[in-house]
Copies of this chain bind each other. A is one copy, B any other.
Amino acid sequence: MGRSLLGSPRPDTRETQVVQQARAVATRRAIVEAASAEFIEHGFAGASIADIAARAGVTKGSMYFHFKSKDLLAQAVIERQREANAELQSRFAGTDLSALAVLVSMVRVLGELMRQDVVVLAAMRLAVEVPSGDDRGPTYDAWGAPTREVIVQAVAQGDLRETVDPDVLSRFLVAAFTGLQTASFASSRLVDLPERLREMWGLLLPGIVAPGREHLIPDVLLRS
C-alpha cells in the first residue's frame, strides 16, 4: 500500500508501520468491545465468535489474527477490568481524602465505570458466570486487594473500628458489590445501582465506623 503507485511497495517504512499498528490497535479494541456486548447479551457460553466478528465489522481472518479463541477474548475483557482498577486506584492515590472517604468513593466510581464502559461491565458479567473448569476466583482477588489496602488505612486512621478485619470487610464488599450490580442489572440495567450502593453504606457504616467517629457518616454517605 502507500507508495505502491509511485514504484515498488515499501511496506517496511516507518510511516506504514505506524499506520498499520494504529489500525491494528483500533481493530483489536473494536473486537474487544463487540465481544463485551455479546458477552453481556448472551453470556460467555452463548456468545459466538462469528457474531462478535460481525458486530465488530471485521473479517474472520482479522478476527483470527487478533484472537484465536473465545477464551482469549474473555481474558482481554478481564485485562481491561484490571487496567480500570489500576486507573481507579491511581485516581485516589494523591488525594487528601480520608481512607474511609476513598473506600466509599472507589466503590461509587467502580459502579459508574460499569455504567459507562461496556468492557468493564462485561468483565463483571463474566465474573458471575462460572463455566465448568474455569475458576474466576482471581477476578475477585483483583478487586479485593486494593479494597483491603484502603480498609487497613481507614482502621489505622481510627475511622473504622479496630475489630473490623480488613480481609473480611474487603471480601464482603467485593461479594456484596457483585450481588448488587447483578440484581441492579436484572431489575434496571444498572440505572438504580447508585441508589443501591448508597443503601448498602447506610446499612453497613453504623456497624463498622469507630465509636466517636459516627459524625463522619453523613459526609461519607454523600460520597457514595
Q: How far is the CA of A200 from the CA of B208 in the complex (A)?
A: 12
Which of A53-61, A112-120, A183-191 lies at the interface?
A: A183-191
* B43 close to A137 (CB less than 8 A): no
Whole-angstrom distance between the Cβ of A201 and the nearest chain B Cβ: 10
Interface membership of A30, Cβ < 8 A: no
Q: How far is the CA of A128 from the CA of B129 in the complex (A)?
A: 8
The SS class assigned to the A binding surface is helix
What B residues does A44 contact at CB under 8 A? 43, 46
* B178 close to A182 (CB less than 8 A): yes
Interface residues on A, range: 35 or more
- Please, which residue of chain B has its CB at the minimum distance from the CB of A141? B187
Q: Known A175-B196, A183-B178, A200-B172; judge A129-B207 contact (CB<8 A).
A: no
Return the 9 tightest CB-CB contacts between A and B, nearest first: A179-B179, A45-B46, A207-B207, A206-B207, A178-B179, A175-B179, A175-B183, A41-B132, A176-B176
List the interface of chain A (C-beta within 8 A of B): 41-47, 127-132, 135-137, 139-140, 164, 168-169, 171-172, 174-180, 182-187, 196, 199-200, 202-208
Seed contacts A46-B46, A135-B186, A203-B204; 9 additional CB < 8 Å A-B pairs: A42-B131, A129-B129, A135-B187, A168-B199, A172-B176, A172-B199, A174-B179, A174-B183, A203-B207
